[in-house]
Structure 1
Amino acid sequence: MTLFTETSDVSVRPAVPGDERTIGAIQLAAWRIAHAQVLGDSLDLLDAEAIVTQWATAITAPPAGHRVLVACAGATVVGFASTAPVAAPGPAAAPGGVILALEVDPGHQRGGHGSRLLAAAVDLLREDGADQVLTWVLDGDAARAQFLAGAGLGPDDTVRELATGTLPDGSTRTVREHRWWASI
């Protein structure tokens, strides 16, 4: 009698042309769940095609040092991360890196994809000479804060406010993000 055990076919790879539509869909789905309370109606104003176009550009013609990675379950893209360099704060300091985005499709969360993406992103930043990584966490995103804390990142008391755009009634909404970082 032969027993078969199912093995996971999971990976992280650089994004390639054709991944942009899936990345855009994952981003919107993840934001609608994670940020619905904070962003509310602003999420309905997002232009899905513009997001896909921006991801296509990020994949095919990125600014220097910017990278887009995707997490895969088999051949299916289930998450993504985007990184960029950050200038050194002083002449003797090493540069850092920022994780601009890291999202996993809601149906594939808690499967290790986010951790694999974070590890791959940090590895690439290290290869580029970075000695620290930073990212931003939207107020109210307790799951992301917990994930980052578990990976060794922590808040550094830096806060920024961002406008979410003009709502149909002419009002604007501002959200706050907190910077998280770690030495790498």
Structure 2
Amino acid sequence: MADVAVRTASPADAGSVADIHLRTWQTAYAALLPEQVLAELDIEQTRSAWLDAIEHPASTVFLATEGGTAVGFCVAGPSPEADAANADGSLPEDSAHTGLISSLLVEPRWGRRGHGGRLLAAAAEALRERGARRGITWIPEADEASLGLYRDRAGWQPDGTVRTLDAAGQPLREIRVAGPLELTLVEPAS
């Protein structure tokens, strides 16, 4: 495998992050999202949104590279109360020490090479350094690849909390997955 790394994204990386975001949604998420949502994706708006995210002081955007090419990204920060809340709306005792992985995408052509695990490990370490003890993320219920990364590689499990988003009039059901931030990643089966 070529030289691989994970680093903190800089403002100059916003275009690369936007490209990965769009290509991943247009390929891996084509069956999950309505055509209208995918057709309305705009590279300049996406780049601007990622520039804002990269510059946001409360979260960190990590960039995975292989041979100098940006291949994936991950965003980690403190969990908003709404994301950490139990299904009944109450807050768990550890809500103040819960970190959120708000996005983790690896462009499909670079998948199954360990980039997702490296991104998750970097995010978990950053969340621990900020005082978090537990991590959560939301993933589309039908996204088996992401569920496999969290469940099979990191030991995170669905915690029974679900939400439904409106994707251009089509419901998109997401499950919350939670787990420890002290990660021992299991290598993917070849």
TM bucket normalised to smaller: 0.7 to 0.9
**Does 1:181 pair with 2:184?**
no
**Residue 159 to residue 16, structure 1, CA distance change in 2 (3 Å):** same
Percent identical among aligned pairs is 38
Amino acid at match of 2:116: G
The match for 1:52 among 37, 47, 50 is 47
1:145-160 equivalence runs, <5 A = 145-150=147-152, 151-160=154-163
How many residues of Structure 1 are paired with residues of Structure 2 in the alignment? 170
**Partner of 1:107 in structure 2?**
109
Q: SS at the partner of 2:48?
A: helix
Of 83-92 and 153-162, more deviation after overlay is shown by 83-92
The match for 1:134 among 133, 136, 151 is 136
Amino acid at match of 1:58: A
**Residue 92 to residue 137, structure 1, CA distance change in 2 (3 Å):** closer
What is the aligned-residue RMSD (CA, Å)? 1.8
1:86-101 equivalence runs, <5 A = 86=79, 89=91, 94-101=96-103
**Partner of 1:14 in structure 2?**
8
What's the TM-score once normalised by structure 2's chain length? 0.83
Of 113-122 and 66-75, more deviation after overlay is shown by 66-75
**Partner of 2:88 in structure 1?**
none
What's the TM-score once normalised by structure 1's chain length? 0.85
**Residue 122 to residue 161, structure 1, CA distance change in 2 (3 Å):** same
- Whether the 8 Å CA contact 2:151–2:157 is kept in 1: the answer is yes
Q: Take 2:41 and 2:11, find their aligned partners in 1: how far apart are those partners?
A: 22
Amino acid at match of 1:163: D
Amino acid at match of 1:126: R
- Whether the 8 Å CA contact 1:38–1:139 is kept in 2: the answer is no
CA radius of gyration, larger in: 1
Residues 70-115 of structure 1, C-alpha deviations (whole Å, 9 max, x = no match): 0111322111000120268467765110101111122211111111
Q: Take 1:92 and 1:138, find their aligned partners in 2: how far apart are those partners?
A: 24
**Does 1:68 pair with 2:61?**
yes
- Structure 2: runs of 5+ lacking an equivalent: 82-90, 182-190
